[in-house]
Amino acid sequence: MRSMSLYRLNELLAPTEPPCISIYQPTHRQHPDNQQDPIRFGNLVTGVEDSLRREHPNREIRPLLEPFRALGEDREFWQHTLDGLAVFASPGSFRAYGLQRTVPERAIIAGSVHVKPLVRFVQSADRYQVLCLSRQEAKLYEGNRDALDPIELADGIPRTNAEAGGYERDSNDMRFFRALDRGVLDRHSRPSGLPLVLVGTTENLEHFRRISDNPALTGEGVRFDPWSLPPDRLREEAWQVVLPHYLQRLAGLVDNFHEARSRRLASGDLSDIAQAAVANRVATLLVEADRVVPGTLDRASGRISFEDLSRHDVDDLLDDLAELVLSKGGEVVVVPTDRMPARSGAAAIFRF
């Protein structure tokens, strides 16, 4: 199971051959709560199958559904779930992602994948990565203020000194660190855009920083033997390093908004933001965390209307705006309520 990132979200936004299936489900980390998760997943898949059979012949839907059934029967998979699950399928494609925040249970069949629940997760400003290292091995984590979980280093990145062709001499230690630094930068830091916290002994941190070219590295690391820290302690220590950068980033975004608004290059009016988003004028969109604005967005004209969320065709207008800005190459940042510079739930900085 892969972790969700901005890079992978952008992959999902690319045009896809229909029918596209999107399944979201809250999951559980511990026994016995997680025993019900595969059962609930199977029920969602059954609902999808019933809907598909009404419009597609069996020969078309069989290859679409086979990966879902295989996932439902994968006992190892269901013993290592996080707080949420997102699964997407279309002809020739099947992807499953673990999420560190829960999501509402939904199964959707449409002409494109349904990514709105992912936007706020991926764009939350409190996300970061952690690289634990010694001279013999390395491990990568990703998380937020509430959770921190290991993620697989991408193929080609050495996980141990031996994989880098080294042993215990200093020169080979540096070869391991250089290969690790280059791989993490190219395959994790650049695609995710997340700050990176180093965890290790003082000596190893200094050696790694000396050779590192990764601009995502935070100014301070966690100076402990990483293999001696329990998971909760590791998260607490890493968050204390990230917190000042998180607050500084939020303050900078708010200052940029106010400065741009003084030059009429920013707005907190949802109608203005929608028009600018359609015209590809939004460089950065701030979205208020946990805020929902029921409404609809016409992606051709930019016209918005405020509606009753109880209607089945009404979604969250803020999520629609965020998805549109992302699809046009803009930046979206989810910020806490007490840091929002506009009362509408959104604040946009324009390109021009």
Query: Per-residue confidence of the chain (352 residues) as pLDDT tens digits?
Result: 677 877 788 888 888 888 999 999 999 999 899 999 999 999 999 999 999 998 888 888 999 999 999 999 999 999 999 999 999 999 999 999 999 889 989 998 988 888 878 887 888 889 999 999 999 999 999 999 889 999 999 999 999 998 987 545 555 778 999 999 999 999 999 988 899 999 999 999 999 999 999 999 998 899 999 999 999 999 999 999 999 999 999 999 999 999 999 999 999 999 999 999 999 999 999 999 888 898 889 999 999 999 775 555 566 889 889 989 988 999 999 999 999 999 999 999 999 9
Q: What is the pLDDT of residue 88?
A: 96
Q: What is the pLDDT of residue 8?
A: 84
CA distance 196 to 199: 10
Same domain, 180 and 158: yes
State the residue range of the domain holding 319.
Answer: 264-350
Same domain, 270 and 329: yes
Same domain, 29 and 54: yes
Q: What is the pLDDT of residue 190?
A: 93
**Do the domain assignments include residue 255?**
no
17 in Cβ contact with 104 (< 8 Å): no
Residue 79: phi, psi to the nearest 5? Answer: -90, -5
Q: Look at the block and give the residue holding tokens 């042993």.
A: 167
For the chain, what is the domain count? 3
Between the alpha carbon of residue 115 and those of residues 97, 104, 107, 132, the distances in Å are: 12, 13, 12, 31
The CATH number of the domain where 8 resides is what?
Answer: 3.30.960.10
Same domain, 135 and 215: yes
Q: What is the pLDDT of residue 234?
A: 96
**Do the domain assignments include residue 120?**
no
Q: What is the pLDDT of residue 14?
A: 82
Q: Are strands 304-306 and 196-199 parallel, antiparallel or unpaired?
A: unpaired
CA distance 316 to 308: 10
Same domain, 240 and 276: no
Q: What is the pLDDT of residue 12?
A: 87
Same domain, 95 and 35: yes
**Do the domain assignments include residue 256?**
no
Same domain, 70 and 132: no
Q: What is the pLDDT of residue 110?
A: 84
Same domain, 94 and 51: yes
pTM: 0.79
Same domain, 172 and 141: yes
Domain boundary among 89, 115, 141: 115
**Do the domain assignments include residue 39?**
yes
